[in-house]
Chain A
Amino acid sequence: MRRSNYIIPLIIIAGLATLIPLQRWIDGETGNRAVEESLYLPSGKTVKEISVGFDGIVSDIYWMRAIQYFGGKVLNGALDEGSNDRFELLYPLLDITTTLDPQYIAAYEFGGMFVADYNSKEKAINLLQRGITENPNEWRLYQYLGMIYWRQHDYPKASETFEKGSQISGAPQFMHLMAAQMLAEGGSRTTARQMYEHVYNSSDDKRIKDWMATKLKRLDALDQIDCLNRVVSAYKDKTGRYPATLDLRMLASTLGPTLQQILKSSPGVQLNYNKQGLAVDPDGYAFAYSNQTGEIALANDTTILKK
């Protein structure tokens, strides 16, 4: 067998094997530069002109880049406590996507949810208003817009938006109910729960569903804290001091039927405990508790949203 007969395949195999660790090292040094570079043309109109008839496919590329950008940031800990990441490129990426394809409803919805939460509510409103102008029969866009006004505590505007959306053919009854509820009890947790539950049920986007589930978990945790506050108060009333810990088994044995009454008066709230008997949030983290002041809060290391 000639030497070159096996040397060449050997070089190919060894070369390919070496490329993997080398590329990993380069990735570690450079991070994900792809998306940042793609925004060299920040204006949707410019991109539209350059795309010379390929608007559809180019809008798909920008949509995927928006998703990747968001996903990449999340993977890099942008949602972690203490992170100041504001997802600056998310809005321009979605703006380009929807300028290229004004019927890209998923992009409007995504922006209505995540640009509003992480970057700027005004930009999200702008995006949704443009979406409504281009797609006046999409009730979901009114839903997302109403939700942003609601989160800005602008309940009359939120009500008006939900009402407009409810008049669109195919809009669920929920939109009309929300319009009324905004005026009656816009700031209540019940309204928040209904809002998130409905978005969860009506959205086709898994990321939005997951986000709503996270927000609902936070509401569950807040309900649990309210309920625990009442338990702690009842304990103090009975013993004259705050409980040493939030050990639910100990609290149950001390309070007896009073605890049952508190739980009955908090419908839908379920208190859970860990192996040590300590009250835990929906993700299983023990609540932070001060036995000096009786204050209960989410633990620092919990995965539940803190704000």
Chain B
Amino acid sequence: MKLAAIATNTFRETVRDKVLYNLVLFAVLLVGASLLIGQLSISQDQKIIMDMGLSSMLLFGTLIAIFIGIGLVYKELDKRTVYSLLTKPINRYEFILGKYCGLGLTLLVNSIVMAVSIALALLYLQRGFDRLQWALVPTAYLIFLELAVITAIALLFSSFSSPALSATLTFMVFLVGNFSGDFRTYAAASNSAVTKSVLYVLYYLLPNLSNFNFITVAAHGQVVPLKLVISSTIYAIIYCAVLLCAAIMIFERRDFK
């Protein structure tokens, strides 16, 4: 109950911060692209709408996850509202989880609206439903999961460092997470046992964000297999649980006296 109250408040706060205004920009981008790209690209307009729409969803979502995520804890500390909050019968873990769920809700709303907009743009171009809309659903869902992981990363960093450093670190993890498959390839190609071990540890320890990225696949009308959707969901749940537990552990040890 307390967790839900914190989550709702966080969601309201992001709405008050006009975070969802990005949807307007997204809609303009998508409508503009729908009208223009059809004339510029030969028979690839639907693919480009999918690519552009899903990539924008990921980009805007990542920016929200990072820049709002890093301020979730810091803002409360900076404004000293955390002191009055924690004097109430609220556990620190409830505070962290509530903040996380609140931003998660914002991202969920954001993702749903964007996915619906893409579907409508496709509908306008195709004059009906086809496999691209089906491919859109799991892909958009997986992007949301990726955003959930990024939010958890941002929250973890913000639990012990400044906003600037948290943003930098989260962005770096985001970049590395998208290239983490390379660690595995390097490890497989390496002859040194030490290098191999280090690279494999990095590969399994860092978030593998490519598990959630099926934009190019979806743009060709291929639906992500259900078993991959399920496994990526489990991956995201476990990874978020690990990150949030680490964030809670750090936050519980902080001295606010």
Q: Select which of A22, A36, A68 is within 8 A of B185 by beta carbon.
A: A68
Of residues 1 through 24 on chain A, the ones whose CB sits less than 8 Å from some CB of chain B are 4, 8-9, 11-12, 15-16, 18-20, 22-23
Q: Which chain B residue lies CB-closest to A31?
A: B181
A68 touches B241 (CB 8 A): no
Q: Does B179 make an interface contact (CB < 8 A)?
A: yes
Across-interface contacts of A33 in B (CB, < 8 A): 181, 210
Taking residues whose C-beta sits less than 8 angstroms from the other chain, chain A's interface range is 20 to 34
Q: How far is the CA of A68 from the CA of B184 in the complex (A)?
A: 10
Q: Does A88 make an interface contact (CB < 8 A)?
A: no
Across-interface contacts of A71 in B (CB, < 8 A): 185, 188-189
Of B30-38, B107-115, B120-128, B244-252, the segment with at least 4 beta carbons within 8 Å of chain A is: B244-252
Q: Which chain A residue lies CB-closest to B91?
A: A4
B246 touches A26 (CB 8 A): no
Q: How far is the CA of A283 from the CA of B49 in the complex (A)?
A: 54
Q: Select which of A18, A36, A64, A72 is within 8 A of B238 by beta carbon.
A: A18
A68 touches B179 (CB 8 A): no
Q: How far is the CA of A67 from the CA of B231 in the complex (A)?
A: 29
With A19-B204, A22-B238, A26-B228 known to touch, is A12 a contact of B185 (CB < 8 Å)? Answer: no
Taking residues whose C-beta sits less than 8 angstroms from the other chain, chain B's interface range is 20 to 34
Of residues 72 through 127 on chain A, the ones whose CB sits less than 8 Å from some CB of chain B are 72, 75
Q: Select which of A8, A67, A72 is within 8 A of B248 by beta carbon.
A: A8
B216 touches A8 (CB 8 A): no
B213 touches A37 (CB 8 A): yes
Q: Does B205 make an interface contact (CB < 8 A)?
A: yes
Across-interface contacts of B93 in A (CB, < 8 A): 4
Q: Does B242 make an interface contact (CB < 8 A)?
A: yes
B241 touches A15 (CB 8 A): yes
Interface string of A138-162 (1 = CB under 8 A from B): 0000000000000000000000000
Q: Select which of B234, B242, B249 is within 8 A of A22 by beta carbon.
A: B234
Q: Does B225 make an interface contact (CB < 8 A)?
A: yes
Q: How far is the CA of A26 from the CA of B245 in the complex (A)?
A: 24
B221 to chain A minimum Cβ distance, whole angstroms, is 17
Q: Does A27 make an interface contact (CB < 8 A)?
A: yes
Of residues 185 through 210 on chain B, the ones whose CB sits less than 8 Å from some CB of chain A are 185-186, 188-189, 203-205, 208, 210
B182 touches A12 (CB 8 A): no
Across-interface contacts of B179 in A (CB, < 8 A): 34
B182 touches A75 (CB 8 A): no
A29 touches B235 (CB 8 A): no
Q: Does A174 make an interface contact (CB < 8 A)?
A: no
With A15-B241, A40-B216, A71-B189 known to touch, is A22 a contact of B181 (CB < 8 Å)? Answer: no
B249 touches A23 (CB 8 A): no
Q: How far is the CA of A15 from the CA of B189 in the complex (A)?
A: 28
B234 touches A15 (CB 8 A): no
Q: How far is the CA of A40 from the CA of B184 in the complex (A)?
A: 21
Q: Which chain A residue lies CB-closest to B213?
A: A37
Q: Does B151 make an interface contact (CB < 8 A)?
A: no
Of residues 214 through 233 on chain B, the ones whose CB sits less than 8 Å from some CB of chain A are 216, 225, 227-228, 231-232
With A12-B246, A37-B213, A68-B182 known to touch, is A22 a contact of B227 (CB < 8 Å)? Answer: no
With A34-B179, A37-B213 known to touch, is A23 a contact of B205 (CB < 8 Å)? Answer: no
Q: Which chain B residue lies CB-closest to A16?
A: B242
A61 to chain B minimum Cβ distance, whole angstroms, is 9
Q: How far is the CA of A17 from the CA of B228 in the complex (A)?
A: 20
A8 touches B245 (CB 8 A): yes
A15 touches B238 (CB 8 A): yes
A11 touches B245 (CB 8 A): yes
Q: How far is the CA of A37 from the CA of B51 in the complex (A)?
A: 12
Q: Select which of B181, B203, B210, B231 is within 8 A of A29 by beta carbon.
A: B231
A26 touches B232 (CB 8 A): yes
Q: How far is the CA of A20 from the CA of B201 in the complex (A)?
A: 10
Q: How far is the CA of A23 from the CA of B204 in the complex (A)?
A: 7
Return the 6 tightest CB-CB contacts between A and B, nearest first: A15-B242, A34-B181, A68-B185, A8-B245, A15-B238, A11-B245
11 intermolecular pairs with C-beta atoms under 8 Å apart: A19-B238, A20-B204, A22-B234, A23-B235, A29-B225, A29-B227, A34-B182, A36-B216, A68-B182, A71-B185, A71-B189
Question: With contacts A11-B245, A15-B239, A67-B189 known, what are 8 further pairs, Cβ within 8 A?
Answer: A19-B238, A30-B210, A30-B211, A32-B184, A33-B181, A37-B216, A68-B182, A68-B185
Chain B residues with CB under 8 Å of chain A are 93, 179, 181-182, 184-186, 188-189, 203-205, 208, 210-211, 213, 216, 225, 227-228, 231-232, 234-235, 238-239, 241-242, 245-246, 248-249, 252
Chain A residues with CB under 8 Å of chain B are 4, 8-9, 11-12, 15-16, 18-20, 22-23, 25-27, 29-30, 32-34, 36-37, 40, 64, 67-68, 71-72, 75
